[in-house]
Amino acid sequence: MKKCSCGFILVDNQTGHWLLVHPPGKDVWDFPKGWAAQGETHLSAAVRELREETGVILSAAEVSNAHDFGQHPFTEEKDMRLYLARVSLNPAEMFCMSMVTNPSGPDYPEVDEFRLVPPAEVNSMLSARKQAWLNQWVWSHIGLPA
């Protein structure tokens, strides 16, 4: 069985901009997401990863109203499942609690920057593989940005 990376696309209620997170040392941005633990539902994993990587805690209503794009192949080894929620966001209040273990030096946060991005600019900040996944499974359901 493939591993599944679970996460959230968060859309700011006021601006309509999408939250992207930046992993240290990478040239591309991403969505807050991570692996589902054994016995953990995909939605629970997405909520946990969001909290760990951004400090954002969704209300029960925000979680139950989240749109599920479903589980789809991302690579031969893993699937990805993203949920979309519309919430009030302030990147200045975000923080990352999860650390990357660095055997050759000090551990460091999994995320080093948070940014709200207009939908039309999201694809340009993601990896080519993530862009293709988004084009097939997300934009096709909610409409391409202007």
Task: Dump pLDDT digits (tens) for 63-108.
Answer: 999 999 999 999 999 999 999 999 999 999 999 999 999 999 999 9
Which one, of 118, 10, 25, lies nearest residue 58 by Cα?
10
pTM: 0.92
Residue 9 tokens read as 């696309």
Phi, psi (rounded to 5 degrees) for 94: -85, 155
| CATH class belonging to 3-142 | alpha beta
Task: Dump pLDDT digits (tens) for 16-28.
Answer: 999 999 999 999 9
SS3 9: strand
Mean per-residue pLDDT, 137-145: 75
- Domain residue spans of the chain: 3-142
Taking the C-alpha atoms of residue 139 and residue 113, their distance in angstroms, rounded to an integer, is: 25
